[in-house]
């Protein structure tokens, strides 16, 4: 009898718990929806009392914060341009652009703004275009209202309701082709109070490109639709080109500064595993929204998505920005640099404190597989111009990842080839390194490097060509390397 009463009470308690829990869950869910709806209604109700022209900036720069202004009528004037640009050293491509750059101009708005958007299609363009802004609540994100033919312009308007970092892109059929040719960018909708102030802000966007020629193949390259359908990208790059964030395009910061990166992924196909080598993201606005993740090493950015990453730079040196789907970085171009200057912080990073010799059993310099038949093929000596053309292509496919498009190398990792005393002092030594590889410490232009150069699987003609290209680029001594010079070293 007692057991029966206990069971009955437990059953009744469980039922009450489910009812109360369900009511609570419903209440919380309703509250969340209500909060979202309240925020949206609040944005809709914000009245604008002024008008201003939007400051549109080219990557990697962004307009100033909206924190110190009220919601306004924001006039956006954007021109579509179809123009030839440089995809890589010696490789040209016809880009379709918003504002003349890939990615397109950065648009900075805030919640409650009324945006009057005029889209102009330059009369020299060949195709109609439009724009789909992921920040727009309306048909096609504005695409349905913005279809514009060459030589025409169109104006539409929308109100910004939801804060976040959003992608915009062309949505004219075939949509994938328009995006793949560079038609994408970012629009930021700041909250009413603006984002917290930081020392530096930069605009970066990844994209994948599909060309008839393989990576590094010289000349004007056409878009390859079948490669795009197969998602077989020849180039995966930041800001529209190989080297878009290296050399004179590299980002800068000082020790102690806080950096905010607005990072987008235009796609059209590949997701980005965005990572900064040598830093940890203190804060990440996941997918560009309200959710904040902290202490993040790598953040995933979907095609057609974005993220805001923030970090404080603690020590000087070169930070390397990559898509950590790592062959894209070192073999397809998704690599950038941030040069951090300032005082050393030995308590945070002391660098090398001891160096010794490590020779495990069987250890040796790595080498690429050698095709003996290829190495022994009889050849006809190329002219200098022919060597330069072939050398450029070979450099783009074999040397670029470590030594960079302009031969600057990577600080503390791979030595420079530009104006390199080590290279210019001894041509035979340089040829031998290409043929047999090199490990251990060397000094180049007064700086010490200790890394590994793998032996390359190149025949004599190819070695002569790529070495001639290097010696006749970036301020080097102009040596023309012959196949006989390579043979002598190979046969030593």
368 is in an annotated binding site: no
324 is in an annotated binding site: yes
Catalytically active residues are 129, 132, 134, 169-170, 178, 183, 275, 294, 298, 324
403 is in an annotated binding site: no
78 is in an annotated binding site: no
With beta carbons less than 8 A apart as the criterion, state whether 126 and 253 touch. no
399 is in an annotated binding site: no
- Numbered residues of the known binding site for Cu cation: 129, 134, 169-170, 178, 183, 324
- Numbered residues of the known binding site: 129, 134, 169-170, 178, 183, 324
């Amino acid at each position: 009898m007692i057991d029966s009463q206990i069971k009955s009470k437990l059953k009744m308690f469980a039922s009450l718990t489910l009812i109360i829990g369900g009511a609570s869950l419903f209440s919380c869910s309703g509250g969340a929806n209500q909060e979202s709806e309240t925020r949206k209604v609040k944005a809709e109700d914000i009245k604008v009392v002024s008008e201003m022209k939007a400051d549109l900036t080219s990557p990697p720069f962004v307009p100033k914060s909206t924190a110190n202004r009220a919601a306004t009528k924001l006039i956006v004037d954007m021109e579509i341009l179809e123009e030839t640009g440089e995809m890589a050293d010696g490789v040209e491509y016809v880009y379709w652009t918003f504002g003349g750059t890939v990615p397109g101009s950065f648009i900075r708005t805030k919640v409650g703004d009324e945006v009057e958007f005029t889209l102009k299609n330059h009369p020299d363009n060949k195709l109609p275009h439009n724009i789909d802004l992921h920040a727009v609540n309306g048909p096609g994100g504005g695409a349905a209202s913005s279809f514009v033919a060459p030589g025409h312009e169109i104006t539409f308007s929308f109100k910004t309701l939801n804060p976040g970092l959003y992608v915009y892109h062309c949505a004219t059929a075939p949509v994938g082709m328009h995006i793949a040719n560079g038609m994408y960018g970012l629009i930021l909708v700041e909250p009413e109070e603006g984002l917290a102030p930081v020392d530096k802000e930069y605009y970066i966007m990844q994209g994948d490109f599909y060309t008839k020629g393989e990576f590094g193949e010289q000349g004007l390259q056409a878009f390859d639709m079948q490669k795009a359908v197969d998602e077989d990208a020849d180039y995966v790059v930041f800001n529209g080109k190989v080297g878009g964030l290296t050399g004179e395009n590299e980002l800068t910061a000082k020790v102690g500064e806080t950096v905010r990166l607005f990072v987008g992924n235009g796609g059209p196909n590949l997701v980005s595993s965005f990572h900064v080598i040598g830093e940890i993201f203190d804060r990440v606005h996941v997918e560009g929204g309200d959710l904040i993740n902290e202490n993040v090493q790598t953040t995933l950015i979907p095609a057609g998505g974005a993220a805001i990453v923030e970090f404080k730079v603690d020590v000087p040196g070169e930070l390397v920005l990559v898509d950590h789907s790592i062959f894209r970085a070192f073999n397809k171009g998704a690599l950038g640099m941030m040069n951090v200057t300032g005082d050393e912080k030995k308590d945070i990073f002391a660098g090398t404190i001891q160096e010794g010799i490590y020779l495990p059993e069987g250890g040796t310099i790595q080498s690429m597989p050698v095709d003996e038949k290829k190495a022994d093929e009889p050849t006809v000596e190329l002219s200098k111009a022919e060597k330069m053309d072939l050398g450029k292509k070979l450099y783009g496919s074999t040397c670029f990842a470590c030594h960079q498009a302009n031969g600057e190398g990577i600080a503390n990792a791979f030595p420079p080839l530009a104006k390199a005393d080590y290279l210019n002092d001894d041509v035979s030594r340089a040829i031998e390194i290409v043929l047999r590889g090199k490990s251990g410490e060397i000094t180049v232009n007064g700086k010490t490097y200790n890394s590994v150069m793998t032996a390359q699987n190149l025949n004599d003609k190819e070695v002569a060509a790529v070495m001639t290209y290097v010696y006749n680029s970036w301020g080097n001594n102009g040596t023309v390397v012959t196949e006989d010079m390579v043979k002598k070293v190979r046969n030593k």
